[in-house]
Amino acid sequence: MAPREAIHGRGSVRIPETVFATSTRWRRRHAVYAERAVSAAHTLGELRRAEYRVQPIKSELRRNLIRKLRSGERLFPGIVGYDDSVIPQVENAILAGQDIVLLGERGQAKSRLIRSLTSLLDEAVPAIAGCEINDDPYAPICRRCRDLVAELGEETPITWLGAEDRYGEKLATPDTSIADLIGEVDPIRVAEGRYLSDELVIHYGLVPRTNRGIFAINELPDLAERIQVGLLNIIEERDVQIRGFRIRLPLDVLVVATANPEDYTNRGRIITPLKDRFGAQVRTHYPRTVEDEIAIAEQERVVFDDTPVPVHVPQHMKEIAVEITHLARRHPQINQRSGVSVRVTTANYESLASSALRRALITGEKEAVARVSDLAAVTASTSGKVELDTLDDSDNDQVLDKIVRNACSNVFRRHFSATELADLVQRFDQGGFTVEVGPLMTAESYGQAIGELPGLAPARQKLGEPDTPQSMAAVLEFVLEGLHLGKRLNKTALDSTSVYGG
């Protein structure tokens, strides 16, 4: 090995490479031994001898974030479409040590993003054993732990808390009380003979129990104003007031909240002092590309292990499912205040797959491929997830049907131009040629039409579908429906099937 040069006093000396290697190995070995000594500590004295340092929660998150950013590690697996927008803002907030509020409509992965913050917590941290609020062994803040340390000293028992033990979450509802978030007097402890002025009579709520961790509150503006004041008091003033009795409680908590943008204003249901408490306000959004929304739907859809035949949803059908959601987000007769969740896309994706599977099971086909005739199944999965502003409930189906047809037309026009399928249209214009399609018709029943219509093979190749009877049937239906919606073919709806003609 080539020698290295090291500074020593006023000059430099040549040190063999083996010395550096040995020194590096020693440091690594020493770090492993130190980590084992810390993890083996079960008393306050053992923890001190291991030289363990307790860090505030925001410093801990910041340190682990810095390490992950330097290593290039992916921070929030499963969060799609936020790499260049939301995640950088969240990272900035953590580096700045700020509490965060995520503003966005439903179905924008706000809760999932908050829960992913636990990946930035240490694997385990020490706390005084039996403490309700995860007290720091070196600086306990609750009466019970202060008395215990005063009595036992270095023999005070400690326990180790995992990341999942340091995360608390509450969905804000109008009936949420101070007792839920902060605490209440425990009547059993009073009955045992303690005075109401004694701190030990308090049963702590969710926020104190998340001390030295992350506390998340969903739909923050739904809290009653007096509860918002109590929450502000505990996270800003660091004290608790229960039944007129004030307790100084300097909690160490990262507070993360979610809210609907329309409610999170001084004209909405949020008090201004609490709004001012959050250092970072991050605006979430729905997926901005078709690819991102498809990736989310494929990630979130339910997959069963006992599916009797393989199920395939073609790319163009996935795009139609996404386009339905995108059109719904812009439709004037759909209430946009609560948003149109990505769950609509996921549910429609599942409906298309299940409709194809049902056909395969009934007809005995060996493969299930979703096609346009399966779009009838998405009405049920869409209607329950959007809020329609129509005068009559009977108009709801018409609105959804129009959205589905427009989605199919838009996707078709992305893939094909009007002139690409001119020969196929001409075959219908020759007169007398028709094609019947339906959700329960087998792929083999389309064989004659597929053989007589020119241009289907190039269309299949352009869509990237395999050369199988089921995929060709899916391509045929997509092409026929697209030409019909483009006013190139007629379509007659029968009881359970439809007929395309010139």
Angle at 298 between CA 293 and CA 302, to 5 degrees: 130
Rg over alpha carbons for the chain, rounded to the nearest Å, is 31
**Cα 341 to Cα 180: distance, rounded to the nearest angstrom:** 29
Is the Cβ–Cβ distance between 178 and 205 less than 8 Å? yes
Q: In terms of Cα–Cα distance, which of 431, 477, 432, 481 is closest to 450?
A: 477
**Cα 216 to Cα 170: distance, rounded to the nearest angstrom:** 6
With 50 as the cut, is the pLDDT of residue 370 above it? yes
Q: Is residue 311 classed as helix, strand or coil in its secondary structure? A: strand
With 70 as the cut, is the pLDDT of residue 390 above it? no
- Dump pLDDT digits (tens) for 91-139: 999 999 999 999 998 889 999 999 999 999 999 999 999 999 999 999 9
Q: What is the mean pLDDT of residues 188-202?
A: 67
With 60 as the cut, is the pLDDT of residue 29 above it? no
> Tokens in use for 169?
């979450």
pLDDT for position 22: 46
Q: What is the mean pLDDT of residues 319-325?
A: 96
Residue 24: pLDDT band by 50, 70, 90 thresholds? very low
pLDDT for position 265: 72
Torsion, CA 57, CA 62, CA 65, CA 69, rounded to 10: 180
State the maximum Cα–Cα separation within the chain, in Å, rounded to a whole number: 101
How confident is the prediction for the chain on average, in pLDDT? 86
Residue type, 303: V
pLDDT for position 241: 65
Query: Strand 183-185 to strand 202-204: parallel, antiparallel, or no bridges (unpaired)?
Result: antiparallel
Q: Phi, psi at residue 148, to the nearest 5°?
A: -65, -45
Which of 34-38, 71-75, 216-220 shows the lowest mean pLDDT across its residues?
34-38
Strand segments (E) across 173-212 = 183-185, 202-204
Q: What is the mean pLDDT of residues 302-326?
A: 95
With 90 as the cut, is the pLDDT of residue 272 above it? no
Residue 388 DSSP label: B
Q: In terms of Cα–Cα distance, which of 104, 105, 144 is closest to 127?
A: 144
Buried b (16+ CB within 10 A) or exposed e, 273-293: ebbebbebbbebebbeebebb
With 80 as the cut, is the pLDDT of residue 16 above it? no
Q: In terms of Cα–Cα distance, which of 122, 103, 217 is closest to 168?
A: 217
% of the chain surpassing 70 pLDDT: 86
pLDDT for position 273: 85
pLDDT for position 39: 63
Q: In terms of Cα–Cα distance, which of 141, 154, 113 is closest to 212?
A: 141
pLDDT for position 411: 97
Residue 375 DSSP label: G
Is the Cβ–Cβ distance between 460 and 479 less than 8 Å? no
Q: What is the mean pLDDT of residues 466-489?
A: 95
Checking phi first, is residue 97 left (phi over 0); if not, alpha (psi -120 to 50) or beta?
Answer: left
Q: Is residue 84 classed as helix, strand or coil in its secondary structure? A: coil
Residue 334 DSSP label: B
Output 23 or 287, whichever has higher pLDDT: 287
Q: What is the mean pLDDT of residues 302-320?
A: 94
- Dump pLDDT digits (tens) for 197-247: 666 777 888 988 999 999 999 999 888 888 888 788 777 766 666 665 666
pLDDT for position 190: 64
pLDDT for position 203: 80
Angle at 16 between CA 13 and CA 22, to 5 degrees: 120
Task: Break the chain into its structural domains and give their ranges.
Answer: 4-40, 57-283, 290-501
pLDDT for position 38: 62
Tokens 């009934």 identify what position?
362
Residue 444 DSSP label: G
Domain spanning 57-283 has what CATH number? Answer: 3.40.50.300
Output 56 or 22, whichever has higher pLDDT: 56
Report yes or no on whether pTM surpasses 0.85.
no
Using the Cα atoms of residue 36, residue 38, residue 43 and residue 45 in order, give the sign of their dihedral: positive
With 60 as the cut, is the pLDDT of residue 472 above it? yes
Residue 195: pLDDT band by 50, 70, 90 thresholds? low
Torsion, CA 232, CA 236, CA 239, CA 243, rounded to 10: -10
**Cα 368 to Cα 370: distance, rounded to the nearest angstrom:** 7
Which of 137-151, 381-395, 479-493 shows the lowest mean pLDDT across its residues?
381-395
Residue type, 44: L
pLDDT for position 232: 83
Which of 18-22, 293-297, 463-467, 485-489 shows the lowest mean pLDDT across its residues?
18-22
Torsion, CA 24, CA 122, CA 160, CA 137, rounded to 10: 90
Residue 277: pLDDT band by 50, 70, 90 thresholds? confident
Which of 18-27, 163-172, 475-484 shows the lowest mean pLDDT across its residues?
18-27
**Cα 345 to Cα 293: distance, rounded to the nearest angstrom:** 8
